[in-house]
Structure 1
């Protein structure tokens, strides 16, 4: 059986989603909610806390509690994940062609640091977790729109830094990808893994997003060359891209796999019945 504060949160959630409390509107005062539901102010605070963690509402101190602009109510910008190129070099998708590096708190456009690599990126690079690697960190965004920005940390594979130590400094026109392709004499390939997690306080501040209630949309972009003379790949770099999930969605085509090539074979099983063993 649900706790009373969960029931109140469910009722308020339904009112928000139905538009009774539209984005930007104030919720009733705490004393009015206590009277309406016949509960203590502690119970109402728990219900508000639950909705705040979900990203539906936000406290504005003495001004009260308000319904947040939310993906269910606001049209997200769909980021089409594909590699494009113009006179400045490569960029990821037509929505960001006009974006540029923005200064960090210290004024740098790119921070080049040596840092211990996190586990998921270490696995993709084939190194031990915590290995000290060269990382190029940038904030990239629309110079005219404060919230349109992303964080991009470029973790460079150790073998690349041995071959191209200049990547620890200014990379020149076209950047890292151009230098690596010039050195190898062939084009890079890319793939991405999309996930979500909560932002750190520093990430939330850099992205101009709330510290709680809104997750990060995260894309790990793997840059690689096919391995020479064998199966597999040589990973060049992992770019850890983070943006506010309240502002952006990811869009991409769904190609037909080998088993779904047209014309297709007629279906022989009932989707709603217990699965049968595939025919030999």
Structure 2
């Protein structure tokens, strides 16, 4: 991966987490070049990539985060955020409308968690809302297996903040995600998603399924519905 791509991704992560909120200045170039130990030209190309993607705007006064940057966080982004801050919820957003209950699992969830007949997993469902706009950006549903729920006191408490679940699980069991898998596809929103996200019935959304595991086995399986106008991207190298 080129340095300009790495720098663009690092700045994108700061926008995503809320460290650089809408309207915040990015730069100046000289300071960024010193921070990342690269030339100003390398930083300028990274900024150009972010501007093309709609994350920042460039003017004679400098570079600023756009009012509505198209940043969307999938499961990998959320896990990275937790590793950095201790929460899967960023500084510029909050969780809303948490529903926490043991319910009969859909067939695919029973298979994923290898549930015995009659076992009910814990479903934690909530909205992620952009704080500056009071606008829902994602609907998240987490499915926790009964053995995890039994080992983690308070996991089934609706007062537990959505972003702090992994911290509680690690404190109680010593377990934390070591690997994961994401699968995303575009589709039409289901009625309950349209209502929660305040979009028209059947509007296009980005639907993501994900799971986090450690060496022992599966920790959590989840589903996340994102608005169609967000960008989800990853850096990678071979």
Report the TM-score range of the alignment, normalised by the length of the smaller protein.
Answer: 0.5 to 0.7
Does the CA-based 8 Å contact 1:200-1:211 persist in structure 2?
A: yes
Q: Which residue of 2 aligns with 1:237?
A: 220
Q: Partner of 2:139: helix, strand, or coil?
A: strand
Following TM superposition, by how much is the alpha carbon of 1:225 offset from its aligned partner in structure 2, in angstroms? 1.5
Q: Helix, strand or coil: the match of 1:141?
A: strand
Aligned pair partner of 2:70 in 77, 93, 109: 77
- Measured in 2, the distance between the counterparts of 1:198 and 1:173 equals 26
**Aligned ranges for residues 185-196 of structure 1 at < 5 Å?**
185-191=174-180, 192-196=182-186
TM-score, scaled to structure 2: 0.59
Q: Secondary structure at the match of 1:116?
A: coil
- Aligned pair in 2 of structure 1 residues 252, 128: CA closer, same or farther (>3 Å)? farther
TM-score by length of 1: 0.51
How many residue pairs match? The answer is: 166
Structure 1 alignment gaps of length 5 or more: 1-73, 103-108, 228-233, 257-280
> Residues 79-138 of structure 1, C-alpha deviation per residue, up to 9 Å, x if partnerless?
35422148962227xxx5411012xxxxxx311122222233333322369853211111
In structure 2, the CA distance between the partners of 1:88 and 1:156, relative to structure 1 (3 Å rule), is same
CA gap 1:194/1:164 in 2 versus in 1, 3 angstroms: same
Return the offset for 1:252.
Answer: 1.2
* Higher normalized contact order (CA 8 Å, seq sep 6+, divided by chain length): 2
Q: Which residue of 1 aligns with 2:214?
A: 225
Say if 1:171 and 1:179, in contact at 8 Å, map to a contact too.
no
Q: Which has the higher helix share?
A: 2
The two structures, once aligned, show a CA RMSD in angstroms of 3.0
CA contact (8 A) 2:127 2:136 kept: no
Q: What is the aligned partner in structure 1 of residue 189 from structure 2?
A: 199
What is the aligned partner in structure 2 of residue 216 from structure 1? 205
